[in-house]
Every structure is written in structure tokens, then in C-alpha cells.
Amino acid sequence: MQVNNTLANIRIVLCRPIYGGNIGSVCRAMANMGLSDLTIAGTGTFDMQDARKMACWATDILDSCRQVATLAEALADCALVFGATARMGLYRQHTRSPREWAPSILASAQNGNVALLFGPEDDGLSNDDLAQCHHLIRIPSTTVYPSLNLAQAVMICAYELYTAGGTFEPLPEKSPLAASGMKERMFAMWEQVLLEIGFMEPDKAQHMMLGIRRVFARGALSEDDVRILMGIARQTRWYADHQRAKPQANDDSH
């Protein structure tokens, strides 16, 4: 998997994870957002088959994942460590959201390794874990139920980093925006056909067309959009003319 240099220096560290399915889902989230460096810290066992199943096409991240005995070992070569926490407490008050931290994380990752640390699924990062963090991340959520699934938390943080990095470019519209002259031809066609099918009376046509114009003004119309709408108007007019040209059946009832 190819990643840019900045994202390559960002490490996801899972501290004492419990469920293999979550680990695999973390791999998938990382692959979606251009991250590749995963480390699991702490002794424990998890179902590798579940992890592989949930990783889908991100098994390369799972296969290259480092497993170390201690958190200190996982973070030893990181210049900055950002710990994710949903719990409240004396040492957990100075937090920022992933969106707020993203520019700082990316800037720091240009010069060295930066770790994003996530705690175990049952109770999150302990105070001893937090002691090894330089900054804390809190994902905005309802106070009624603030705890997020491990993989979901990783995805939210990874998404904010990927977005802040400015590497995503949406696909351009294949059809250019319709020019005013083209749209005016479309409105003229619609006005004519709506009059012919009796949708509006001539003395109210101007008023009705203002309403129709307002509907279409709510969104940008591409040339393809206008061609479709003009095609609908032409077909509607043809059908109306065809129906009028049909001979009327005689009524033989007495």
C-alpha cells in the first residue's frame, strides 16, 4: 500500500486489545485512510482468524503489525504521543478533538514518528498509560454514552488526519455547467409543453415559470442535466401530440 511520507510516520498503537475482530477492523480503517504502521502493545491473545476476516483487503497491515511486550517499547522512537480517551478525570481534562489536533499531528509527523494510542476495549487507557502521552484526544460524542468502539475511534482519527492532509480530490463533474443560454432554451421548451398539456393557463404561465425556475435554481445544472430535462419536454410534447392525433372511439351506448 502506498502512503505519503507524512502519513507513513504516523503510528497507530493498540494497547492491550482484546478482540481480534476489532484489530482487523482497525487495519481496514487504516488502509482506507492511508496509514500503514500498526503496533500492538501488551501481552494477550486474540483471535487471529477474526482479525484476518475483518481486515478484508488490509491483511498486509495485519501481517506487518509489530507486537511488543510493553507500551514503552511501542512508543520508544516516537517524538510525540497522542492518547485517545473518553473517560473523565483529573489528568484527562486537557483534551482536543481529532479535528483540532490533526494539523499539529501532521506537522509533527513531517519530522519524525508520531503515535496515536488507543486503549483496550473494556476500560480504555489507564493513568499509567496516559503518563506516556504528551497530548490527549477526545472524540466528540454524547455524554449519555461517550465510549466508542475501538475501530470506530481509530477510523474517526484517521479520517481527520487524511482530510486535513489535503490529499483527497473529489472526482470532477464529467459534464460542464450549463450556460445561461442553454438553460433558457430548456425553460422555453418546458413552458411550451406545460401549456400544451394544460398544466398551466396562458395568463398564469409567467408566474408558474418563475416557480419552476426557482426549483431548478436550487442546484447547479450541468449540460447533461439540461439535455435530459429537454429530452423529457420533447417526449412529453410528442406524446401529447400523438394522443391528440388518435381517432376518438365512437360511443355506441344508448
Could you tell me which residues are beta bridge partners of residue 96?
137
Could you tell me which residues are beta bridge partners of residue 182?
none
**13 with 41: CB under 8 angstroms?**
yes
Residue 250 pLDDT > 70, yes or no? no
Per-residue pLDDT, averaged over 193-204, amounts to 89
> Is the domain of 141 the same as that of 187?
no
pTM given for the model:
0.74
Domain limits at 135? Answer: 5-164
pLDDT-above-90 percentage for the chain: 63
Could you say which DSSP state residue 40 is in? E
Q: What pLDDT does residue 2 have?
A: 41
pLDDT band at 246, cuts 50/70/90?
confident
Q: How many domains does the chain have?
A: 2
| 46-101 pLDDT tens trace | 898 999 999 999 999 999 999 999 999 999 999 999 999 987 655 556 889 999 99
Q: Which amino acid is at 203?
A: D
> Is the domain of 21 the same as that of 123?
yes
Query: What φ, ψ does residue 170 adopt, rounded to 5°?
Result: -65, 150
Strand order from edge to edge, sheet including 78-84: 66-68, 37-41, 10-15, 113-118, 78-84, 135-137, 95-96
Task: Identify whether 111 is part of a domain.
Answer: yes
Per-residue pLDDT, averaged over 224-245, amounts to 88
Helix H, strand E, coil C: the string for 130-156 is HCCCCEEECCCCCCCCCCCCHHHHHHH
CATH code of 193's domain: 1.10.8
> Is the domain of 84 the same as that of 205?
no
Neighbouring C-alpha atoms within 13 Å toward the C-beta of 12: 32
> Is the domain of 44 the same as that of 103?
yes
Residue 3 pLDDT > 50, yes or no? no
Could you say which DSSP state residue 167 is in? -
